[in-house]
Structure 1
């Protein structure tokens, strides 16, 4: 589970890019390389799926993976 305080609307288009971290000062404290979502996107798209992203600053972020039905 990812825990955060939300992602700014202008940063949402970038969250699936390799090595992207929205806030460098927070990223250093929490660790990570910025690869998780890009790897997940690669896998999900190859299975015909997609992501739905909901995010509000100071509230949180929800990322849902949707796969096609058989």
Structure 2
């Protein structure tokens, strides 16, 4: 009742558990050796976390078995 949740699930390589706590940090990249990673600066998820905080929400991620799910929690509006 406190939040409205939006989930986005991506299939592909699982994010290793040791990286989950860091992926929302600016400039952090799980694998800098990955093709094309030089053009990706590591801002995207940091921006998502900042926007969610501005809206008094939060973002979580779960990654296992080839599925990564990002959940955005927006505060529900009650009057």
Given the two structures, how large is their TM-score scaled by the length of structure 1? 0.82
Report the structure number with the largest CA radius of gyration: 2
How many residues of Structure 1 are paired with residues of Structure 2 in the alignment? Answer: 68
Given the two structures, how large is their TM-score scaled by the length of structure 2? 0.74
Give the CA RMSD over aligned residues: 2.0
Structure 1 unaligned segments of length 5 or more: list them. Answer: none
Q: Which runs of 4+ in 1 moved over 3 A?
A: 1-4
Structure 2 unaligned segments of length 5 or more: list them. Answer: 1-7
Greater RCO (CA < 8 Å, at least 6 residues apart): 2
Please give the alpha-carbon distance, in whole angstroms, between the structure 2 residues aligned to 1:3 and 1:20: 21
**Larger proportion of strand:** 2
**Larger proportion of helix:** 1
